[in-house]
């Protein structure tokens, strides 16, 4: 006898949507020939948002292991998109900073993200999409222990 499982719960839906959006971003970024992977693009966006940031803090904000981020940053640094410098407050730590060359990549990835968003939204109006985003931000804030006004992401 099959077991009852609610695959339409919020957890399953959010996990499925996340997986599908990441796969679509991977495909679209590769197809666009931008020269970075979706993971590397995420690292660039998080670094752009943070400004000069410690590598371990960036990994934490992205929700990835330090070694995963290190691989992304190695490739981004080789492409001249980021620099890593020693933290003057802690010689063991590295600070990540974007180069000017990263701006063009961020713009190109942003264009791809707009296309993926349009595909994901389908027949939803802009108002419906924005309402969905606001509701999801509230859920995220609730789970993170923040009120929506405290949540800047």
Assess contact for 14 and 137: CB atoms under 8 A. no
Average pLDDT of the chain to the nearest whole number: 91
CA angle in degrees (0–180, nearest 5) for 81-85-87: 140
| Weakest mean pLDDT among 2-6, 21-25, 78-82 | 2-6
Q: What is the spatial order of strands in the sheet that 90-98 belongs to?
A: 53-54, 90-98, 82-87
Q: What is the pLDDT of residues 63-100, one digit of tens each?
A: 999 999 999 999 999 999 999 999 899 888 999 999 99
Q: d(Cα 54, Cα 115) in Å, to the nearest integer? A: 31
**H or E element: which one contains 130?**
helix 126-144
Concatenated DSSP letters of 54-78: EHHHHHHHHT--HHHHHHHHHHHHH
pTM: 0.79
User: Cα 91–55–104 angle (5° rounding)?
Assistant: 125
Q: Does the domain spanning 10-144 belong to CATH 1.10.10.10?
A: yes
- Domain borders along the chain are 10-144
Residues 28-69 have pLDDT tens digits of: 999 999 999 999 999 999 999 998 999 999 999 999 999 999
Instruction: Say how far apart CA 58 and CA 47 lie, in whole Å.
Output: 7
Position 124 pLDDT exceeds 70: yes
Residue 123 confidence (pLDDT)? 95
Nearest to 36 by CA among 91, 118, 123, 101: 101
Helix, strand, coil percentages (3-state) for the chain, rounded to 5, are: 65, 10, 25
């Amino acid at each position: 006898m099959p077991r009852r499982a609610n695959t339409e719960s919020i957890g399953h839906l959010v996990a499925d949507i996340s997986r599908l959006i990441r796969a679509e971003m991977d495909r679209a970024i590769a197809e666009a020939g931008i020269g970075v992977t979706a993971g590397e693009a995420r690292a660039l966006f998080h670094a752009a948002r943070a400004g000069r940031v410690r590598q371990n803090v960036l990994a934490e904000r992205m929700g990835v292991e330090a070694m995963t981020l290190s691989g992304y940053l190695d490739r981004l640094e080789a492409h001249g998109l980021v620099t890593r410098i020693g933290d003057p407050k802690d010689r063991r730590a590295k600070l990540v900073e974007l180069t000017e060359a990263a701006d063009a990549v961020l713009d190109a990835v942003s264009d791809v993200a707009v296309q993926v968003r349009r595909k994901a939204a389908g027949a939803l109006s802009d108002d419906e999409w924005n309402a969905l985003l606001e509701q999801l931000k509230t859920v995220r804030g609730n789970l993170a222990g923040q009120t929506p006004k405290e949540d800047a992401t």
